[in-house]
Structure 1
Amino acid sequence: MQYSVLGSTGVKVSRICLGTATFGVAPNAQDAGRVVDAALDLGINFVDTADVYGNMPVFDRPGAPAAADREPAERILGRALRGRRDDVVIATKSHGHIGPGINDGGLSRRHVIRQVETSLRRLETDYIDLYYAHNPDPNTPLEQTLAVYDDLIRQGKIRYAGLSNHPAWQVTHALWTADDRRLQAPVATQVKYNLIDRAAERELAPACRQFGLSIVPYAPLHGGLLADLRVLDRDVAGDQRFAGPGFSEAEIAVAREVDRLSRAWGLAPYQVSLAWLLFRPAVASAIVGAETIDELRANASAADVDLEPAQLDALTALTSASTA
């Protein structure tokens, strides 16, 4: 496993990050513990979760327990990491609605503090390494959210703050605000980013490179399409795992070309797709939501793949940064 420094923190994280969005569904609660064990054995020390992961109806799928019968992913992860918590860099988030109440979501001081306390209990820890604002909140001034993160950092409940799914202008605004108010600034951004979806390269990636933030991409294999074309034979694939649409014909065409090039180079598509992404500027670690130990092991191997410049160029030419 290879490692990189997360933003300006000095903290080293594995180039492959274990994603837990579907913990409790695939893998189920029992198998999730074994996936975590395998991740640590592979040298993965970075795990990503969120307060809404695991037991929300959006994750429902045939054959899995209903949402009401599932545990939150954070609780499953906390149990799996008992006795090994300090070996792992844990990232979690808040913003999404976690209940029917009018204030059960957002980035207000009230909600953020409540959710940090909830996450600490579920994760069975007294600190969170990286805490993201999961999405922008138009109802809460960004300076209020940054101020509560600063308070939580000073209290030792979180170590660093990050922004997820925020456009470049909001990331820049957050940095300016933190500097002006003498607050702890965000150190990382999380965004959907892969060879098919390169929208992050238009403005976010240059901003992160300029200001020293790390990018931690999610969906690095575009819902499995860039991992193996056999994903097309699955009943549930891509954004369908989160109640979204399937793949477009244009996306499938790109994946077929990635598959062709990979085979010609003696590599697997998932290795090539992840290796390309990890080579992109400012990318520190790619979040892999592996549903099985075999998937995790396969994806982890990409961290040790070094593509030649000509190979990287050939992959980059398949799509453009205007892809949205």
Structure 2
Amino acid sequence: MSLTLDSYRLLGRSGLRVSPLALGAATFGTEWGWGAEQEEARKLFDLYVERGGNFIDTANTYTDGSSERLLGAFAREHRESLVLATKYSTLRRPGDPNSGGAHRKSLFASVEASLRQLDTDYIDLLYLHVWDFTTPVDEILRGLDDLVRQGKVLYVAISNAPAWQVSRMQAIADLRGWSPLVALQIEYNLIERAGERDLIPMARELGLGVVPYSPLAGGVLTGKYTRDDLTGTGAVPGVPGESARKSFNLALGTLTERNLAVADAVKEVARELGRSPAQIGLAWTLSNPAVTAPVIGARTPAQLEDNLGALEVDFTASHLARLDEVGAIGLGYPHDLLAGDHMRKVTAGDLKIETRH
């Protein structure tokens, strides 16, 4: 593969050029019990930008707002050359029902707050962060389009939403001439592959660049957890904040016997290729042609250096096949039915029909 951070890619159906690895700024600040203090976060930012990276991901409520504030301070000298992505819809003030959600009031107030925290006049890419199941899609799309027309947002995108709602929104945006969605941010890694059922095929068909978050499954694919960690007890020696991170993974159900078996396979491939497990996990995600840029969330410059090495990983076909198999999931109905021999026989018989995508 042998990419570099300045091997820029187009983001979805837009002409926007972004690096093949996005720097996640959720680690900027320690309010969540782990992460990087300001000085360390600045080192992460500088290292990424000096290597040619231009795509940085945050959200309005990451580390209680510290993420946007620190990123805004760091980005000031480089603003025009960076693609800053942030998000809205998570609750900004507990107890205030309109400080969260996908609706117009939440959208406009959140964007104004992000502009202040990022110390910028515009947001390059704005995601709807979490689907709320209550706001009409035309209200969301019209609000996003209004912000684009005002110049406060350049491109719009979506995260953590059902595939059928995303496809519906894209169709409505196209029919009404509103700003289309250009990116889809989803959890996607060797452990969490549910996106392969509908979300990723939908994104390829409708022109959304896939931007995976948690490409290392909360650190599980780095190989740092063992079966002993399944109990959820004890600190992790020498790694500040790692006990909080481990507890978070346990609460999310990320630390399981099945997932540790996937991590073991990653470690085996890493040994054979002379790479770190983190590099293998990231490189596997990058190998999917629908993926534009995984979001990497390093806490130290050493971790970031290691993550960037994923751009240089060259898999053999057998290594890729082994990784694909160990984390594979059933696609379920109707995908398994449509891919089966019976359906191919009754729809195409013995005909040979070439597909272009």
Indicate whether the TM-score tops 0.5: yes
Counterpart residue number, 1:178: 173
Pairing partner for 2:270 from 259, 262, 275: 262
Distance 1:323 1:247, change over 3 A: farther
Matches within 5 A, 1:236-275: 236-237=244-245, 240=248, 244-245=252-253, 247-275=255-283
Quick one: distance in 2 between partners of 1:31 and 1:242? 27
User: What's the offset of the Cα at 1:236?
Assistant: 3.4
* More off after superposition, 223-232 vs 247-256: 223-232
Q: Structure 1, residues 162-210: CA drift from partner, whole Å, max 9, x if none?
A: 0101121111011111122221110010000001110000001111111
Quick one: distance in 1 between partners of 2:330 and 2:108? 37
Pairing partner for 2:150 from 145, 148, 155: 155
Pairing partner for 1:203 from 193, 198, 207: 198
Q: Structure 1, residues 135-155: CA drift from partner, whole Å, max 9, x if none?
A: 112221011111111111111
Counterpart residue number, 1:29: 38
User: What's the offset of the Cα at 1:102?
Assistant: 2.0
TM-score scaled by length of structure 2:
0.82
Pairing partner for 2:47 from 29, 38, 54: 38
Provide the secondary structure at the position in 1 that maps to 2:97: coil
The residue type equivalent to 2:215 in the other structure is P
Quick one: distance in 1 between partners of 2:181 and 2:13? 10
Provide the secondary structure at the position in 2 that maps to 1:92: strand
Counterpart residue number, 1:96: 90
The residue type equivalent to 1:38 in the other structure is L
Counterpart residue number, 1:194: 189
Counterpart residue number, 2:105: 110
Quick one: distance in 2 between partners of 1:266 and 1:241? 28
Pairing partner for 2:68 from 56, 74, 79: 74
Assess if the C-alpha contact under 8 Å between 1:190 and 1:215 holds in 2: yes
Equivalent pairs counted in the alignment come to 309
Distance 1:95 1:307, change over 3 A: same
Assess if the C-alpha contact under 8 Å between 1:216 and 1:285 holds in 2: yes
User: What's the offset of the Cα at 1:310?
Assistant: 2.4
Pairing partner for 2:305 from 280, 297, 302: 297
Counterpart residue number, 1:65: none
Provide the secondary structure at the position in 2 that maps to 1:187: strand
Which runs of 5 or more structure 1 residues have no equivalent in the other structure?
56-70
The residue type equivalent to 2:316 in the other structure is E
Counterpart residue number, 1:59: none
Assess if the C-alpha contact under 8 Å between 2:220 and 2:254 holds in 1: no
Residue 4 (str. 1) matches residue 4 (str. 2): no
Counterpart residue number, 2:288: 280
Residue 15 (str. 1) matches residue 20 (str. 2): yes
Counterpart residue number, 1:85: 79
Assess if the C-alpha contact under 8 Å between 1:222 and 1:238 holds in 2: no
User: What's the offset of the Cα at 1:6?
Assistant: 0.5
Structure exhibiting the larger radius of gyration computed from Cα positions: 2
Quick one: distance in 2 between partners of 1:136 and 1:95? 8
Quick one: distance in 2 between partners of 1:165 and 1:143? 18
Provide the secondary structure at the position in 2 that maps to 1:83: helix
Quick one: distance in 1 between partners of 2:279 and 2:13? 28
Distance 1:11 1:306, change over 3 A: farther
User: What's the offset of the Cα at 1:29?
Assistant: 2.4
Q: Which structure: greater helix fraction?
A: 2
User: What's the offset of the Cα at 1:3?
Assistant: 2.5
Assess if the C-alpha contact under 8 Å between 1:271 and 1:299 holds in 2: yes
The residue type equivalent to 2:11 in the other structure is L
User: What's the offset of the Cα at 1:246?
Assistant: 5.3
Assess if the C-alpha contact under 8 Å between 2:57 and 2:85 holds in 1: yes
Counterpart residue number, 1:67: none
Assess if the C-alpha contact under 8 Å between 1:239 and 1:246 holds in 2: no
What is the RMSD computed on CA atoms of the aligned residues?
Answer: 1.9
- % identical equivalent positions: 39
Which runs of 5 or more structure 2 residues have no equivalent in the other structure?
230-235, 237-241, 333-357
The residue type equivalent to 1:10 in the other structure is G
